[in-house]
Amino acid sequence: MAHTAERPSTRFQGRLAGAATLGTRPSGRRHPLVATAMVLPLAVLLAVVFGGVEAVITQASSVAGALGL
């Protein structure tokens, strides 16, 4: 099979590897706050786009009622 695409340069691969390890611990796990900061913008965007804000408010009020708050 013919290889038609060139591989990225070593310097570029080093930059990608450096960016991929941002916020990771030496053990390979991310800190929970880093993971939260990565996920929240997308979660907010999806909630706003698909109208999930009302559903979240309804669920939160139901949980608060169940907890007696």
Neighbours of 44 (CB within 10 A): 12
Show the domain range for 55.
30-69
> What is the reported pTM?
0.41
Tens digit of each residue's pLDDT, the chain (69 residues): 566 766 656 555 666 666 666 665 567 788 999 999 999 999 889 888 988 888 888 998 999 999 988
Q: Which two tokens stand for residue 68?
A: 């007696």
In three-state secondary structure terms, 24 is strand
- Cα pseudo-dihedral 49, 56, 37, 50, rounded to 10: -10
Q: What is the model's pLDDT at position 26?
A: 67
Query: How many domains, in total, are found in the chain?
Result: 1
Rounded to an integer, what distance in angstroms lies between the CA atom of residue 32 and that of residue 13?
26
Domain-embedded: residue 57: yes
Residue 17 lies in a domain: no
Q: Is residue 7 part of a domain?
A: no
